[in-house]
């Protein structure tokens, strides 16, 4: 059975591109959304985080995290949501809706459970080397 996945991504991210490829090869149809222009309310964004601890909500490769400007370990939920809403690049990617399930980050074990089929593991991708932070020109 084909599963529909709403996939919130950072455009031109090599890791997100690989995740989409994995989902498509698992028989999924994707509806792609730009995470940086997500249009979610703070309450809606919180629903993707589930039982994850606050630091797990954050993309560890985000510049403000890597340079130490933001330390997710010291934030409470309210502070974290304010930062994520103000600067969506901080959100751990992808956000996904699969059926009634909402996920933050690509956990192939959890995705496999939801889809009730094997989903291949995500290879390690260094987004800095793959040009994730570069904007591609349209044309």
HEC profile for 54-120? HHHHECCCCHHHHCCCCCHHHCCHHHHHHHHHHCHHHECCCEEEECCEEEECCCHHHHHHHHCCCCC
Residue 136 has pLDDT above 50, yes or no: no
Give the domain extent around 59. Answer: 3-124
User: Could you count the other beta carbons within 10 Å of the beta carbon of residue 125?
Assistant: 16
Q: Which of 28, 18, 15, 6 is nearest to 116 (CA)?
A: 28
Q: How many folded domains does the chain comprise?
A: 1
What's the chain's average pLDDT? Answer: 89
CATH label of the domain that carries residue 114: 3.40.30.10
Answer whether residue 136 is part of any domain: no
Task: Please give the average per-residue pLDDT across 61-82, as a whole number.
Answer: 97
Q: Which of 93, 91, 85, 86 is nearest to 72 (CA)?
A: 91
Task: Please give the average per-residue pLDDT across 60-75, as a whole number.
Answer: 96
Output the pLDDT for position 2: 64
Answer whether residue 138 is part of any domain: no
Answer whether residue 116 is part of any domain: yes
Strand partners, 9: 34
Mean pLDDT check: name the lowest of 63-72, 117-126, 130-139: 130-139
What's the rounded Cα separation, in Å, for the pair 58 and 80? 9
What's the rounded Cα separation, in Å, for the pair 136 and 120? 28
* More confidently predicted of 125 and 32: 32
Digit-coded pLDDT (tens) for 99-125:
999 999 999 999 999 998 777 777 766
What's the rounded Cα separation, in Å, for the pair 130 and 102? 27
* More confidently predicted of 53 and 139: 53
Catalytic residues, by residue number, are: 13
Answer whether residue 49 is part of any domain: yes
Task: State pTM to two decimals.
Answer: 0.86
Answer whether residue 137 is part of any domain: no
User: Could you count the other beta carbons within 10 Å of the beta carbon of residue 111?
Assistant: 24
Answer whether residue 41 is part of any domain: yes
Answer whether residue 82 is part of any domain: yes
Answer whether residue 15 is part of any domain: yes
Output the pLDDT for position 54: 98
Q: What tokens were used for 55?
A: 């630091």
């Amino acid at each position: 059975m084909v599963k529909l996945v709403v996939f919130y991504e950072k455009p031109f991210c090599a890791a997100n591109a690989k995740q989409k490829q994995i989902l498509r090869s698992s028989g999924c149809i994707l509806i792609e959304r730009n995470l940086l222009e997500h249009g979610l309310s703070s309450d809606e964004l919180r629903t993707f985080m589930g039982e994850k601890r606050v630091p797990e909500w954050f993309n560890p490769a985000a510049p403000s995290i890597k340079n130490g400007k933001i330390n997710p370990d010291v934030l409470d939920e309210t502070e974290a949501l304010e930062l994520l809403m103000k600067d969506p690049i901080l959100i751990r990617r992808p956000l996904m809706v699969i059926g009634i399930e909402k996920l933050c980050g690509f956990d192939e074990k959890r995705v496999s459970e939801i889809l009730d089929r094997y989903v291949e593991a995500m290879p390690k991708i260094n987004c800095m080397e793959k040009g994730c932070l570069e904007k591609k020109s349209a044309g």
